[in-house]
């Protein structure tokens, strides 16, 4: 093992071992999806900023979700596009660990933001008379800062455990970005503690928060069914259904990747799931909120000056 260990200065990302034509096609498609992700989430941020009717806790949380989605895509997609054009181009050791740290930070932050958004919907629908008191701006800012801080701290723990590990000289990462488990596989030392911490972290930020979301929505569903007005029910379902779609996409893929059982070729399955998680999820989120949310669509009409006076 000693002969195989060296001072690592860079890694090579294996990405997707496909033919040149397929890689060029994927480069074009993924570039298009990346642009759509930036434009879609940028549009959400712009609408929330420009339309005073969207200056509410729900859209305050949504704006941070859009920021996380933009950061997600910017952290992984550009390097993936570079690898599609030049598969042999390496990534520096520091750049690789930075990418790992940022990915974990954004992942944990998004987990917690989705929990915060479900709590916001719970208070709005189950305790509407107390909503303005419970979800004051001070509470909202505290919840968002807690989500970001927790994401950074948990990611630092993983990074501090990763840094002391010696790495083998065969530094090819079987992934399209520096995903933590793929990087750990190159370590030439016992990595069981790291793997246990990753699994424990995944369970704590996925299973626990998802359970809270499920309980919140059970209470929300019960409250919606008690609403006498059909219009009131439709409005409540409209805001909640958008959030539920985003929760399903995010937690579904994340749990399968880090907690669920493995079948067939788990490395390749995880790679393609992470592609969906880091490229398609951030692109789909603004579409879900814009197509299924009446307030967002009305805000877009107002900003474009096409809303008619009723």
pLDDT tens readout for residues 39-48: 999 988 988 8
CATH no., domain 10-304: 1.20.1070.10
Report yes or no: 167 and 188 within 8 Å, Cβ to Cβ: yes
Helix (H) or strand (E) run with residue 179 in it = none
Mean confidence (pLDDT) of the chain: 83
Q: In this prediction, what percent of the chain has a pLDDT beyond 90?
A: 29
Q: Which region among 134-143, 225-234, 265-274, 296-305 has the lowest average model confidence (pLDDT)?
A: 265-274
Q: Looking at residue 226, what is its pLDDT?
A: 81
What φ, ψ does residue 220 adopt, rounded to 5°? -65, -45
pLDDT digits (tens, 9 = 90+) for 68-107: 999 989 998 998 888 888 878 888 888 889 999 999 999 9
Q: Comparing C-alpha atoms, which of 144, 136, 151 is closest to residue 116?
A: 144
What φ, ψ does residue 138 adopt, rounded to 5°? -65, -45
Domain ranges of the chain: 10-304
Query: Is the per-residue pLDDT at 309 higher than 50?
Result: no
Report yes or no: 232 and 286 within 8 Å, Cβ to Cβ: no
d(CA 195, CA 181) in angstroms, rounded, equals 8
pTM, to two decimals: 0.87
Helix (H) or strand (E) run with residue 172 in it = strand 172-173
The CA distances from residue 178 to 25, 173, 256, 274, in Å, are: 23, 7, 19, 11
């Amino acid at each position: 093992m000693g002969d195989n260990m060296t001072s690592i200065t860079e890694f090579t990302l294996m990405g997707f071992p496909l033919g040149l034509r397929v890689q060029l096609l994927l480069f074009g498609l993924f570039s298009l999806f990346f642009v759509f992700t930036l434009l879609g989430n940028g549009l959400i941020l712009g609408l929330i900023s420009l339309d005073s009717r969207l200056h509410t806790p729900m859209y305050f949380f949504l704006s941070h979700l859009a920021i996380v989605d933009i950061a997600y895509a910017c952290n992984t997609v550009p390097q993936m596009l570079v690898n599609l054009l030049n598969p042999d181009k390496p990534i520096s050791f520091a750049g690789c660990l930075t990418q790992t740290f940022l990915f974990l930070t954004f992942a944990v932050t998004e987990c917690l933001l989705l929990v915060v958004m479900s709590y916001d919907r719970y208070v709005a629908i189950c305790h509407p008379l107390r909503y303005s008191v419970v979800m004051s701006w001070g509470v909202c800012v505290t919840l968002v800062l807690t989500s970001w801080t927790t994401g950074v701290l948990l990611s630092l723990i993983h990074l501090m455990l990763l840094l002391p590990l010696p790495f083998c000289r065969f530094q090819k990462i079987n992934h399209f970005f520096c995903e933590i488990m793929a990087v750990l596989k190159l370590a030439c030392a016992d990595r069981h503690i790291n793997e246990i911490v990753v699994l424990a972290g995944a369970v704590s930020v996925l299973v626990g928060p998802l359970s809270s979301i499920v309980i919140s929505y059970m209470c929300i569903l019960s409250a919606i069914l008690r609403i006498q007005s059909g219009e009131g029910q439709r409005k409540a379902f409209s805001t909640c259904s958008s959030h539920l779609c985003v929760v399903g996409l995010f937690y579904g893929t994340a749990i399968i990747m880090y907690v669920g059982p493995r079948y067939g070729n788990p490395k390749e399955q995880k790679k393609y799931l992470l592609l969906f998680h880091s490229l398609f999820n951030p692109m789909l989120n603004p579409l879900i909120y814009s197509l299924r949310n009446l307030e967002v669509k009305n805000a877009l009409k107002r900003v474009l000056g096409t809303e008619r006076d009723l």
